[in-house]
Chains A and B, each alone.
Chain A
Amino acid sequence: MASTTILETVEDSSRSLPFREEIDEHRGHPGIRATTFSYGQINDDMLEMLEKPHPSYFLLVLGFLSALLLGAVSLAIQVDVGIGNSGISHPIAWGFYITDFVFWVGIGHAGTLISAVFYLTRAPWRTAIYRSAEAMTVFAVMTAGLFPLLHTGRPWLAYWLIPYPNERYLWVNFKSPLAWDVFAVTTYMSVSIMFFLLGLVPDMAILRDEARIRGKILQAKIYAIFAMSWRGTNHQWIHFMRGYLIFAGLATPLVFSVHSIVSWDFAMASIPGWHTTIFAPYFVAGAIFSGMAMVMSVLIPVRIVFRLEDYISNHVVDKVCQVILFTSVIVSYAYATEFFIAWYSGSPYERAVFYFRPFGHMATWSLTGDQPVSFPLLAFYLMVFCNVIAPIPLWRKKIRYNLVSVWIICGLINVGMWFERFNIVGSSLQRDFHPYNWGEYWPTLVEVGITIGSFGFFFTLFALFMKALPPMAIMELKEAAEPPMRKGNHEH
């Protein structure tokens, strides 16, 4: 079957797409039309995305900046007044801030998974989306990193977390998971930023030369700084590709280790509902689940606005949805396992916490009952609905090929995953071992403001990235495309 015929088949109808296509790297990928484009066309398409934006872009950025401003004002109040201004108090010492931290670290995982793990497994559908996903990783981890600092109450003393020789001969306790977190998150952020910047170098050289071709001298000079004298010689490529492979190899264990270490912040404590061995894989699956959903939430509008259906094709969306579906099943299984183990352990404390999560207080629960719906209760049902029930339609291929449906489902997953994090952080602390140590938690406006601000921070950075840097890896798109051959494409 000629490749063009297959392409038309994929774009027009998902019904006749064969279960597994034969992929000839010299003839492009049957599900991604851009792999049949010429190198020049790929350059032109990517540069078009960096042209002067439509006024609606500025409106969008203004919206994100407003959210960021709200967050900044809330942050200023929080730092000025102190941590007592939040809803965090004994016995609930971890509230919105740690929820936000865990949520944002999780969002970052999809980028590393796509850029590193799927690079090593040679998944061709990752090419068009990995740069944006990687940028999301960097921005998400930057956002996440703010919360533990804020949560300490005195962020100006954050350097105490770093082991350094001091006049009191004190060192950080390396047996504490909080110290592990410092190392895990800073390593993850550093490696993600380096990996991201490394991949950008050849693309900056493309932008430098294209700006020169178009007579934009100032732009060319700016891009030249970041291109670092890149010329595309075989010596440069050989070291670059080897370095890229090593970075992918180094980033791959980070995908699994970072959220495992974050999960041990909880699992190492003896609090009922936290002290379980399932937490590491449960957190990692949840992180990939939420990260992939965020990638789709952001890239589906990008595809529509920039008309990128040849790059972010239905085939690509389908593959991401399959990963979402897979991780959704793992997460659902983990939820069920938590309840089963609570019952099977015979521990009254574990049982009580897992009764508390769906049914509220220990008293008999009724729809119109004698107690208001508590925040953890809301969190639990939103978590189950958004993470277990909402992704079920993705089992149907027709739904996976419907962008609106995918976008709505992914939006719900993002909501559900935030509430899952809250469900873990908040509800366990409300019902400790001893009734004397029980309490309620409601966030204050400052906490809500900072949470909204974190979304503003993330989306502002992403919107600026979309217009300042190539949102797709031009070099890799070319590598995936058919090379120009005088004698036609054939195996070498």
Chain B
Amino acid sequence: MKRLPLEGIRVADFTRIQAGPQAQAWMAHLGAEVIRIESHTAADTLRQMRGAAGEDRTLNRAPGFYAFSFGKKSCNLNLRHPRAVELAKGIIKTCDVVAENYAPGAMERLGLDYQSLRKIKPNLIMLSTSGLGQTGPDAGYAAYAATIHALSGFSSLTGYPGEERPPALMAMMWSDALTATTGAFALLAALHYRKRTGQGQHIDLSMNEATVDFLPEPFLDYTMNGRVRGFVGNRDEAAAPHGVYRCQGEDKWVAIAVSDDQEWQAFCRATGHSEWASDPRFADAYSRWHHQEELDVLVTQWTKKHIPQEVTEVLQRAGVAAAPSANIVDFLADPQLRARNFFMEVEQPPIGKGTAAVVPWKLGPKPDGVRKAGPNMGEHNHYVFHDILGLSEEEIEKLIKDQVIY
């Protein structure tokens, strides 16, 4: 098998939930050896979620946990124990990267902060992910994706026109996702520099800041023009029709975006409504934008008679952008993702076969996909403490009994 890009890179992964682990999912996928350092004293929330067989104490049955842990390893360390911290340092000495997303200050209290660790591993790269960053008056504040959506201004801008309250929840945990992906980029930039110069460094990644960076338009509208924007729903700043329209079927919808006059003409032909094409209210982009409410009513009259897939095919054939607004069931049947092998069947012990999403990596002919199942809790204790750190079986047994390896 061809060498993977990050083969030979080892990561000590102290992260939990999504913003940390999803970044390390990239690292594992790109060939790094990612060792999750976990403890029964504070198991990952995702491990604790109800699994296939209902309530479960083994922490090994929650599929949501594995989604970001395929190909990783897991060892147990109870960091409340000083001996466990010593062992963690032993592991880190053999690593290239340390990743953590504890509240700022927690690693320092354990003696595992960057300044301490660089003394034992001078070219270490360390990624610290947190809600508000490692410095500043509110650095220690606890955060989750949903609270960062509120704090970053993202919620104040996401909603239906005319309503006052944004949706209570954005189910996608988007800030976690974009922060994790930003973290993967940060690590690759640091690895690139280290390869060139031999120098490691500390990366301070704030969910709040990464989220604002994905949303420059309203911030610049404020800093340049003093304007505070409201909710625009699915609308565009200049193009219409541009929205999500009701289709045939229970809670079925299609997204349609007409970007110029040529596409509008094509849209009218494809839907069999040439009378719309000659309607002066819709004659050009400017007129359509100003009459978009009336336009949306007409478009819905047509879409309601069809399922989302039909609308998509008819419009895309005419050169107009459209796609079903997918729910999870539609999504797993998505012909484009299927054709490009985005999904993979994975045998995940102990919960059996299921479908995994693949990191979006199609770098030429290299091996893609999930290469290994995710780790059970502490599955690689022997590998880490015996093979890497050289402890004897008796020592390991004693450490387990003393709840150091726990």
- Are A and B co-members of a single complex? no
